[in-house]
């Protein structure tokens, strides 16, 4: 409020308080999508429609999608310790594979991604190749994709270029994967993308609405009835502080839960 620290620094501070760290891919710092405009020639940071709705999780960015997730929640009966527990989302907004997929073009993340994928790159069409299509997938098109961003989207242009010339494959439409496709307003320049994206994060609109996203990820809308109301509940296994593994005697269930957590991510500690 006093403009003494940037929104970026504030989010990093909150991530650290919540136990997120660059040293742990499974609990990597999580940052919000702040823009919804990846198609315009110029970026207008004074227009509210340029921005993502920060009061809603990624699963509720469109009315149709929100209704589908509410329907899923209502259809599943509560059943503790079961993979079909009642929740809106069975996938997570931050996980090791999401982090590694964003950073796949730079080491050591290339090796991390391949090891998580069983030794090779993923099918080209599923690789991170376009900011616009990733936004459309996470906000609208793909019911198993509710990913948010990582801090690098606001300061590291290098992760957007394939400077190491990795052979990432070829998509079904014939496109060979190389550098990440940027929105028109970036003019094909990763440095300009990062500059404008950072300006968006520090803009007046985001400054006025960022607390709503913080409520969802780190605050009171993270769990309980407020989370249900906000269409913001995840599978029980994602809430690390709620799972007492010492009380689970069955080794198979225990290993299933640990595998679930390590593959799909964890909710940050509530700040």
DSSP 266: -
Residue 59: the pLDDT is: 96
Beta bridge partners of 170: 176
Does a structural domain hold residue 184? yes
Residues whose CB falls within 8 Å of the CB of residue 128, separated by 6 or more in sequence, listed in order = 101, 102, 104, 134, 180
Range of the domain at 223: 7-262
Closest CA to 193 of 202, 184, 204, 206: 184
31, part of any domain: yes
Tell me: pLDDT of 37 over 90.
Answer: yes
Using alpha carbons only, what angle is made at residue 122 by residues 135 and 136, rounded to the nearest 5 degrees?
A: 10
Nearest by Cα to 198 from 151, 263, 137: 151
How many domains are there within the chain? 1
Question: Is the pLDDT at 158 greater than 90, yes or no?
Answer: yes
- Which of 65, 33, 85 minimizes the C-alpha distance to 257? 85
In Å, what is the CA distance from 221 to each residue of 56, 57, 76, 215? 10, 10, 21, 5
Task: Answer whether residue 268 is part of any domain.
Answer: no
Across the chain, what does the average pLDDT equal?
91
Residue 1 counted as domain residue: no
CATH number at residue 220: 1.10.1540.10
Q: Looking at the domain assignment, is residue 145 inside a domain? A: yes
| pLDDT value for 238 | 87
Q: Evaluate whether residue 180 is within a structural domain.
A: yes
78 confidence band (pLDDT: 50, 70, 90): low
Phi, psi values for residue 108, rounded to 5°: -85, 10
Model pLDDT for residues 180-197, shown as the tens digit of each residue: 999 999 999 999 999 999
C-beta neighbour count of 13 within 10 angstroms:
12
- Who's near 175: CB < 8 A, 6+ residues apart? 129
């Amino acid at each position: 409020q006093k403009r003494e620290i940037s929104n970026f620094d504030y989010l990093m501070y909150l991530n650290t308080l919540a136990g997120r760290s660059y040293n742990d891919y499974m609990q990597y710092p999580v940052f919000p999508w702040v823009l919804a405009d990846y198609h315009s020639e110029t970026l207008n940071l004074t227009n509210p429609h340029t921005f993502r709705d920060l009061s809603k999780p990624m699963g509720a960015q469109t009315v149709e999608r929100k209704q589908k997730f509410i329907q899923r929640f209502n259809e599943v009966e509560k059943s503790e310790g079961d993979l079909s527990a009642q929740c809106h989302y069975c996938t997570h907004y931050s996980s090791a594979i999401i982090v590694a997929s964003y950073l796949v073009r730079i080491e050591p993340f290339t090796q991390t991604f391949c090891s998580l994928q069983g030794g090779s790159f993923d099918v080209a069409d599923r690789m991170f190749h376009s900011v616009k299509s990733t936004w459309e997938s996470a906000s609208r098109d793909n019911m198993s994709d509710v990913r948010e961003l990582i801090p690098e989207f606001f300061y590291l242009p290098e992760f957007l270029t394939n400077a190491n010339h990795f052979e990432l494959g070829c998509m079904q439409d014939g496109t060979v994967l190389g550098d990440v496709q940027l929105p028109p307003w970036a003019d094909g320049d990763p440095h300009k993308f990062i500059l404008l994206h950072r300006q968006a994060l520090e803009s007046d609109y985001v400054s006025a609405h960022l607390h709503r996203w913080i409520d969802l990820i780190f605050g009171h809308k993270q769990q309980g009835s407020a989370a249900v109301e906000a269409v913001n509940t995840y599978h029980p296994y994602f809430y690390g502080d709620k799972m007492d593994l010492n009380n689970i005697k069955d080794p198979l269930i225990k290993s299933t839960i640990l595998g679930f957590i390590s593959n799909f991510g964890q909710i940050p500690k509530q700040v």
